[in-house]
Structure formats: C-alpha cells, structure tokens
Chain A
C-alpha cells in the first residue's frame, strides 16, 4: 500500500477530486495548509506598512491507495493539478505499513 500526499493549488481541488473519483478512489483527506517552495510570497500593504507573506495558501490531499492504483493516482493528480506555472505543488509517496477500518476492524487493501 502507498500513502500519497499531494500539495496543490487550492482552486484545482475540485478538478482533482472529480478526476480521482473517476479512477475509483473511494476517499481522501483534504486540509488547507500554508507553505513555501520556489514560488515567491505576496506583498501586502496596509496604510504604507508592508508585509511580505512568505507562506502561500495551498491544499494538501492525503490518499491511501493499493500498490496497483497508486501510480495511476499520481499520474492523474500530476495532469489535472498542473497549470504549468510556478507554484503548482508537489506529490510525495510513502510506503504504508498498515490500514484499519475502525468500524469493522478490516485491515489491508480491504480497509481502503
């Protein structure tokens, strides 16, 4: 099993979610996050006081997937979340040791 973490632009969330549903992804966790990478921050000016915000708002998607589905998910996120501009985000993949469905106690792929 793989654990996929994708950081994407917030406005791309719906598009990515729909595309992944089409692949048969049954669930995901989404959070609003802030961070920085190569994309520069914004400058805000309030009555002449300048603030440079280094942290930009992004959306983090977390998906647990079976080994055979994971490559297709990664490819799909890469394609749908891309605007070919700086700040599109990144996808990280980790090996997942176990998964348990709390209601039934099922484990492994069946718990996903």
Chain B
C-alpha cells in the first residue's frame, strides 16, 4: 500500500515535470528584447554571482598575495603584497575603462569593439546571457564577475618576477599585457552571442569558442595565459642575485598555508561561479573543484613522501593549487570521479616541472608560476577533453547554434575535442608568449624592468616602497 502510494506520487511529479518542460519550451523566446530579458532574471542566480565575484576577489587579496608573500624573503614581503594589491586596483579601473568592452562585445573573432567603453550602456536595466535559454543575469553582475578574473590573471604572473622586478614598470606592463594579451584571449575563448541569439547570428563568437574549445572557468584564459607570461618574463628579467648560491627559503609558510586555503575557498566562486547560474551544473563544478583539489594535495604529499621521505606543508599547498588549476577548465564539464583522477595526475607532472625541469633549464621562476599554473593549466585543458565526455559521466557539450540549445551525448568525440584543446593551448601559449616578450622588451629598453643591484640586495620593500613588513 505504501509502495503504491509512493509510486503514485513519483508518477504524478514526473507528469508534472514533463508538463512544465513542455510549457517552458512553448514559451521559449528566441532573441528576447531587453524588456523580455528583464523577466528572465532570477534572484538566486544574481545573488550567487555577486557572492562568487567577492570570492574571486578574495582569491587575489589576500589569498594569492599571502600565498606568494609567505614564499619570498622577509625583505621582499611588502613588494609582493603591494604588487598584487595594485594590480587588482589597476585591472579593475582598466576593466571599466575599456577592458570589458574589448573582451565582451562583438567585433572580430579576435577582439571585441569599443561599444561599451567607459561602461556605455551597461546599466541596472541591461542583462547578460547565461548558458541556458531564456535565463539572464544583470549585466553589471556579469561585468563585475568577469572583472575579478581580469584582476587575478595579471596578479598570478608576478610570482615569476618576485624579489627583483621594479614596481612602476611592472604596473605599466600589467596595463599593456591586459590590453594586448588578456582581453583578446578572453574574447577568443569566452565571447559568444549567447544561447538565445547565436542561432540568429551565426559566427558571432570568439575565435576559439567558435572552434569548440572548452574552457569552463579559465584554464587557457587565466592559467596558461599567466603561466607562460611568467616564464617569458622571468627569462627576460634574469635570475636573482645569488640564485643557486645563496639560500632563499620562504620567510613564512604559515602565511603561504593561509593564502593557499583562501585560494581554495575562493576558487568555488571562480569555478562554480563560472556556470553563471545557480543550478545543478553549478553544484557539479563545486564538487569537482573540491575533489580534484583534495586529490592533488594528497598526491603531492605522497610524491614527497616517496622522493624526499618527508611530506611538506609547502608541497601540500602547492599540490592543492595545482589541483585547483587543473580542474578549472574541466570543473563544470567533468564528473566527480574523473576530477579525482585529474587531481591525482596533475601533481606529479607539476612536481616534475618545479623540481627537475626548473633546475635543469636554470630559469628563475621564483614562485613557480610556470610550473604550477601553465603546466597545471595545460594538463587541465587537455584533460577537459577526456573528462567532459558523457561516456565517462561528463557533461558533454550543448549545441547552441540551434534554438533552443540541443544536446546529443553521442556526438561527443574525445579525440576530436583533444585536437581542439591542443589548438587552444598552442594559440594561448604563442599569443601570450609573444605578446609578453614584445611588451617586456620595449619596457625594459625604455624604463628598465629590473631594480638596481643595490635595491635588490637591500630588499624591494625598502628600495621600492620605503617601508618594512615587520618592525619588531
């Protein structure tokens, strides 16, 4: 009797669900007007996206700042904190001035236009598309969420230049790099007309998006992009004085642990927030992020146990960050169990790069921006092709070229997707690598990117900022 009743209830709810789906499809509006979009906004989505924006800001300050700051010597602590703090501020202003317009308006497949310069036409009454038909969020919400990504990306690469870069030229570098590297890459990967408009405006997308490259939360745009910039910059900048001769141990791994933990917490805004809505896929991205990070932290500790006989706190924190980086492009596309595999795999690869490759090729990537972010990002970008496969429990890919968006799990092909991912990785490496080299070269010849030898010995805190981190 009870069984029958339960069956009856389930049956009724299924029928109800089907009816509401049918109703929703009948009411689906292609290319809705702004007035119609206003009725398609959900308070839950808006709230989640504003919270996510704050979480991503927390990743930069104080998360990344402390993570990096703890790893430098006492005399350079403030320089790292100040560089991150100012980059966040400058990138925010730049985003409002022209960054958002160049990244997220139509134009060419490679760069957006000037239509939204100085936030023209971006008001409380305009809306941004999500990944679902007829679901919108306020455009200002989207604007500020994406702004926090434009803030953290240039803050990431300063780790490669730490302890010897000059402050003001670095800030000018950030302005030029954002303009010529970040905005174009963000546009190429993430810009598209949206699910209600793409069918009517074929080809209105960024170059890599149009190719079908998958990057859920910024593996190419953020991590590979910043990671290769770090490598190119640190090679052009040269090694620190006494590199390989003087000991340069971290001054506070306590702060590094706090920073890594704040990054971990904030990363839920970064990855789960990248779904732009608050729904089941958001929870998938959330759980994938959690599990990949746990797996990568464990896997790094295990490697150290095997290689050095002692698992270190710095290793665990580095592993966690590597896991977060790797799961970023895959977060909303993979499945929990495949995310664990991704996390387990990324740590040994990054470990090899920061310990063996770096010392073999003798580039002074001070805080391992290349070894963790670029390499972890590449592992993630390529891994995404595998874990996104519906055959492995992944989310697969929607076809947004038709309205409403269609989904056919059987069309997903891992090999084809892997080829597309490889192209996206290579294009990002070349664009960012070349862009960084040119901008760096010009600024180095004109302003000089490196602090004086005396300033480097004294410490950047005194030399560049006239203050000390600790006055006992």
Contacts and interface: CB of A to CB of B under 8 A. Distances in A.
Interface string A37-71: 00000001111110101000000000000000000
B315 interface: yes
Nearest to B246: A51
Contacts of B461: none
B368 A47 contact: yes
Interface string A95-107: 0000000000000
Most chain B beta-carbon contacts within 10 A, residue among A44, A48, A49, A51: A48
Contacts of B315: 47
B250 A46 contact: yes
Contacts of A45: 308, 310, 312
A48 B355 contact: yes
A48 B358 CA distance: 10
Interface in B301-333: 308, 310, 312, 314-315, 318
Contact of B314 (A46, A51, A53): A46
A48 B314 contact: no
B351 to A, nearest CB: 8
A47 B247 contact: no
B356 interface: yes
A105 to B, nearest CB: 34
A54 to B, nearest CB: 10
Interface string B95-139: 000000000000000000000000000000000000000000000
B89 interface: no
A51 B250 CA distance: 11
A44 B318 contact: no
Contacts of B368: 47
A48 B365 CA distance: 13
A46 B252 CA distance: 12
Contacts of A49: 355, 359
B249 interface: yes
Contacts of A47: 314-315, 318, 354-355, 368
Contacts of B359: 48-49
Given A45-B312, A46-B314, A51 B249 contact: yes
Interface in B240-256: 247, 249-250
Contacts of A44: 249
Interface in A3-53: 44-49, 51, 53
Nearest to A50: B308
Contacts of A48: 351, 354-356, 358-359
Interface in B164-201: none
Interface string B337-372: 000000000000001001110110000000010000
B356 A46 contact: no
B343 to A, nearest CB: 18
B243 to A, nearest CB: 10
Contacts of B250: 46
A104 B358 CA distance: 64
A3 B351 CA distance: 53
A15 to B, nearest CB: 27
Most chain B beta-carbon contacts within 10 A, residue among A45, A47, A49, A51: A47
A89 to B, nearest CB: 24
Nearest to B253: A46
B430 to A, nearest CB: 28
A103 to B, nearest CB: 28
A47 B159 CA distance: 14
Nearest to A53: B247
A45 B315 CA distance: 10
Contacts of A46: 249-250, 312, 314
A49 B356 CA distance: 9
B294 to A, nearest CB: 20
A44 B354 CA distance: 16
A82 B78 CA distance: 43
A46 B71 CA distance: 9
A58 B170 CA distance: 42
B354 A51 contact: no
Nearest to B357: A48
A48 to B, nearest CB: 3
A48 B250 CA distance: 13
Most chain A beta-carbon contacts within 10 A, residue among B247, B356, B358: B247
Given A45-B310, A45-B312, A51 B247 contact: yes
B367 to A, nearest CB: 9
Nearest to B355: A48
A101 B315 CA distance: 54
23 contacts: A44-B249, A45-B308, A45-B310, A45-B312, A46-B249, A46-B312, A46-B314, A47-B314, A47-B318, A47-B354, A47-B355, A47-B368, A48-B351, A48-B354, A48-B355, A48-B356, A48-B358, A48-B359, A49-B355, A49-B359, A51-B247, A51-B249, A53-B247
Interface of B: 247, 249-250, 308, 310, 312, 314-315, 318, 351, 354-356, 358-359, 368
7 cross-chain pairs, A with B, having the tightest CB-CB distances, nearest first: A48-B355, A51-B247, A47-B354, A45-B308, A51-B249, A46-B314, A46-B249
Given A45-B312, A47-B314, 13 more contacts: A44-B249, A45-B310, A46-B249, A46-B250, A47-B315, A47-B318, A47-B354, A47-B355, A47-B368, A48-B354, A48-B356, A49-B355, A51-B249
